[in-house]
Amino acid sequence: MYDMKDIVVNFFEERFGTFMEGAVCFAPGRVNLIGEHIDYNGGHVFPCALSMGTYAAARKRNDRKLMFCSANYPELGIVEGSLDELGYDPEEGWTVYPKGVMHELIRRGYEIPCGLEMMFYGNLPQGAGLSSSASIEVLTGTFLNELFGFGLSPEEIASIGQAAENDYVGVKCGIMDQFASAMGRKDHAILLNTSSMEHSYVPIAMEGYKIVIIDSNVPHKLSDSQYNERRSECARGLEMLRQASDIKAICDLDSVEFEKYKGVIDDPVVLRRVRHAVYENERTLDAAALLSAGDITGFGRLMNESHISLRDDYEVTGPELDVLAEEAWKIKGCIGSRMTGAGFGGSTVSIVAEDALDDFEDEVGAAYRRRTGLMADFYMADIGDGARVL
């Protein structure tokens, strides 16, 4: 079996020469099983880290130059920069993510005393909504922590990655993606309270079932999406709710309280956004409890309800993700399917009986081609550990 550490080192040596005295690290992508678009509303999310993700080999230079290279984009060659010129350039492409992490570390008082040569290689499907950007951010924090001895905890690396995406890249994401990448545990999902950052690990013991990720092949471009618009709508909803209730976040309300106070929201669009957040938070807590108790069928039912809410109240699914979910629901042996990630393209996640996997891929794939003209890619997801030095 091939060794990913050797592969990324080989890529490094093809561009930069013999690899010595550096760091080789990995940070996974993530899939969120349920709890979508509530990590910035103070709710609970339920992600798990994947065995797929991004690898990097990095070593120090004796000057201030930054040299980025990606084996996924060999046509770009080496992208050069400088520690003295870390300003944001939207035309720069993927290097904004590692540069954003460096910028945030320096802003927080950590010294990066010299430049770096860095080779990145990812095996996440591009644009599938599995958090490749968060993976790169957490990965960068991990190898900088290793090379320069910052003593950062995984939680701190996640926080730095989120700040880089919020304040440098300009995407107002919540903490879930970076937290799952940094803090994942093999064969467990993380029940994370995004308001308090309290979290627990829930074993994913689904004997006879598999987690299947379907990439719609409609690229998920977070910074080009309506993601920030949804955040703004929720902020308006919170402001309205505060006329009736002393809450800090939308998900401080349960469904009974929401139904009591919803009359203060005078915008029907904002009302739908808030309703999704409140009910999705309750679904997530219920889903984690059901999965802990071994009730896979009940868990799957809540996944389906989540997708419907994201389609009708939050309006982030789009026709391709709706087709994938609808066709999955028709398959005997599929107990639940929903979009995962920010939406506007990307992927669905399904729980499928092992003896139905072949029929599931054949029938959903054929229906998707027929209804959209597109090809979908299917991945059997393994739940892995979080970011680490290899």
Higher-scoring residue by pLDDT: 344, 311 = 311
Instruction: Identify the pLDDT of residue 266.
Output: 96
* Bridge pairing between strands 199-203 and 47-60: unpaired
Residues annotated as catalytic are: 177
**Statement: residue 127 has pLDDT above 80:** no
Chain region(s) in the chain for CATH 3.30.230.10: 4-202
pLDDT mean across residues, the chain: 94
pLDDT in tens, 161-202: 999 999 999 888 889 999 999 999 999 999 999 999 999 999
Chain region(s) in the chain for CATH 3.30.70.890: 204-380
**Statement: residue 1 has pLDDT above 60:** no
Instruction: Identify the pLDDT of residue 224.
Output: 53
Average pLDDT of span 214-225: 73
Strands annotated E in 242-353: 334-340, 347-353
Q: Which fold would CATH assign to domain 204-380?
A: Alpha-Beta Plaits (3.30.70)
Instruction: Identify the pLDDT of residue 220.
Output: 64
Instruction: Identify the pLDDT of residue 340.
Output: 92
4-202 classified as CATH 1.10.3720.10: no
For residues 197, 27, 287 and 39, what is the CA-based torsion angle, rounded to 10 degrees?
40
Q: Which residues pair with residue 188 across a beta bridge?
A: 203
**Statement: residue 242 has pLDDT above 90:** yes
Dist CA 106 CA 25 (whole Å): 21
**Statement: residue 84 has pLDDT above 70:** yes
Average pLDDT of span 351-376: 97
Q: Which residues pair with residue 142 across a beta bridge?
A: none
Dist CA 35 CA 338 (whole Å): 11
pLDDT in tens, 327-361: 999 999 999 999 998 888 889 999 999 999 999 99
Q: Give the Å distances, CA to CA, from 131 to 90, 98, 305.
A: 19, 14, 23
Other C-beta atoms within 10 Å of 363: how many? 17
Distance between first and last Cα of the chain = 16
**Statement: residue 2 has pLDDT above 70:** no
Other C-beta atoms within 10 Å of 219: how many? 14
Tokens 């951010």, residue? Answer: 137
Instruction: Identify the pLDDT of residue 126.
Output: 74
- Classify residue 103 by burial, with Cβ atoms within 10 Å: 0-12, 13-18, 19+: buried
Question: Number of C-alpha atoms within 13 angstroms, CB side, residue 342?
Answer: 30
Q: Report which residue type is found at 198.
A: E
Phi, psi at residue 334, to the nearest 5°?
A: -95, 115
pLDDT grade, residue 90 (50/70/90)? confident
Contacts for 119 with CB less than 8 Å, ≥ 6 apart: 8, 11, 12, 15, 16, 56, 57, 58, 69, 70, 71
Dist CA 106 CA 308 (whole Å): 43
Dist CA 169 CA 92 (whole Å): 11
